[in-house]
Amino acid sequence: MKILHLDSNHPLMIQELTKLGFDNTEDFTSPKAEVETYIHAFDGLIIRSRFTIDKAFLDKATNLKFIGRVGAGLENIDVDYAEQKGVKLYNAPEGNRNAVSEHALGMLLSLFNKLRTAHNEVVNGQWRREANRGYEIEGKTIGLIGYGNTGKAMARKLSGFDCEVLCYDILEKVGDENARQVGLKELKSRADVISLHTPQTPETLGMINQEFIDSVARPFWFINTARGKSVVTNDLVNGLKSGKIMGAGLDVLEYEKTSFEDLFSADHQLPEAFQYLMKADNVLLSPHVAGWTFESHIKLAQTLVDKISGDFKVS
């Protein structure tokens, strides 16, 4: 079986797939139109996010049996059409769930303790203890929206902080010893912190908007290590300005396209809301790296290898 790799990944992936008898080809630079001219020759495809695997691409991939996505989300694949054509889809949320949850917790701790402003002030000769008085997680109510791989990993980490953890999910009976499952209304009525752990779907696009923010009972802290397009940034900024949102940790942004770096190209005008986020003392930003640790690099590769080899045997 021949596998085409469209994005660079940890060397372990090709090493292990080769040992298992797969024939691996790498093409990290050809444009989509060129790949479409020869994709019919391959049985498998490994991608991250270089381009969208849409209906037109799948129609040209006449021998494709599976697609492996090195990450959690499948939003860059036409999932329904791929399944109609009998193409198996693999993702690897197990591979970076620990990394994402650690990043989310790190953002929360940093926001609570004003570490960004405290550091900047100290290195500039300011010693302002009262202005940098922080908060503790103990005794707070943390609301997790989405209780799959990363939500559960986040709850496990919070279990040692003597806080109450609530979770909301569209699936029933997913709560466990680390988080009590509740309806969204109860979560919004009680949460001091809201952390997103949802995939990008039609239901989650723009879900954190002015209506949502207004419906939360009290001022709250917000963490998003999930998908940027789940948040209406203008409404988030309004919430920060009004004080309804006490602080925000954002690893992902609504403005992301194929690459976060597009925001900083010379001919790209930065959105006004993003300019506010960059300057706000109670906001932490990172460039979609929550699941991008050295360890998760290996785990993501191994997870996909295990899933593919479990279904496809090469003689």
Strand order in the sheet with 141-145: 180-181, 164-168, 141-145, 193-196, 220-224, 245-250, 283-285
Helix (H) or strand (E) holding 79: helix 79-84
CA dihedral 140, 144, 148, 149 (to 10 degrees): -50
CATH code, domain carrying 48:
3.40.50.720
Strand order in the sheet with 88-90: 23-26, 2-5, 44-47, 66-69, 88-90
User: Does residue 64 fall inside a structural domain?
Assistant: yes
User: Does residue 311 fall inside a structural domain?
Assistant: no
Give yes or no for a contact between 6 and 46, defined as CB atoms under 8 angstroms apart: yes
Quote the pLDDT of residue 315. 60
Mean pLDDT calculated for residue range 160-180? 97
Name the DSSP class of 134: -
Mean of the per-residue pLDDT values of the chain: 94
User: Does residue 291 fall inside a structural domain?
Assistant: no
Mean pLDDT calculated for residue range 156-170? 97
Structure tokens at 169: 């999910």
Structure tokens at 61: 């991939």
Q: Which residue has the tokens 């591979």?
A: 95
Q: How confident is the model at residue 50 (pLDDT cuts 50, 70, 90)?
A: confident
User: Does residue 144 fall inside a structural domain?
Assistant: yes
Mean pLDDT calculated for residue range 83-93? 95
User: Does residue 315 fall inside a structural domain?
Assistant: no
Highest mean pLDDT out of 67-81, 97-111, 257-271, 299-313: 97-111
Q: Residues 171, 211: one domain?
A: yes
Q: Residues 140, 244: one domain?
A: yes
Quote the pLDDT of residue 72. 87
Quote the pLDDT of residue 268. 72
Which of 59, 91, 123 marks a domain boundary? Answer: 91
Which of 91, 115, 147 marks a domain boundary? Answer: 91
Quote the pLDDT of residue 262. 61
Specify which residues 4 forms β-bridges with.
25, 45
pLDDT beyond 50 at 168: yes
User: Does residue 150 fall inside a structural domain?
Assistant: yes
User: Does residue 59 fall inside a structural domain?
Assistant: yes
Domain count of the fold of the chain: 2
pLDDT beyond 50 at 137: yes
Q: Residues 112, 245: one domain?
A: yes
CA distance 306 to 293: 20
Q: Residues 22, 118: one domain?
A: no
pLDDT beyond 80 at 151: yes
Q: Residues 11, 139: one domain?
A: no
Mean pLDDT calculated for residue range 275-299? 96
Amino acid at 192: D
Q: What range does the domain containing 12 cover?
A: 2-91
Mean pLDDT calculated for residue range 188-200? 97
Q: Residues 119, 200: one domain?
A: yes
- Best CA proximity match to 229, nearest among 214, 208, 246: 208
Mean pLDDT calculated for residue range 278-298? 96
Q: Residues 41, 132: one domain?
A: no
Q: What is the pLDDT of residues 62-71, one digit of tens each?
A: 999 999 999 8
User: Does residue 71 fall inside a structural domain?
Assistant: yes
First to last CA, the chain: 9
Q: What is the pLDDT of residues 239-250, one digit of tens each?
A: 999 999 999 999
Quote the pLDDT of residue 260. 52
Quote the pLDDT of residue 259. 47
Q: Residues 121, 270: one domain?
A: yes
Q: Residues 55, 134: one domain?
A: no
In sequence order, what are the residues at sequence separation of 6 or more whose Cβ sits closer than 8 angstroms to the Cβ of residue 285?
250, 251, 253, 277, 278
Quote the pLDDT of residue 267. 66
Q: Residues 13, 160: one domain?
A: no
Which of 91, 107, 139 marks a domain boundary? Answer: 91
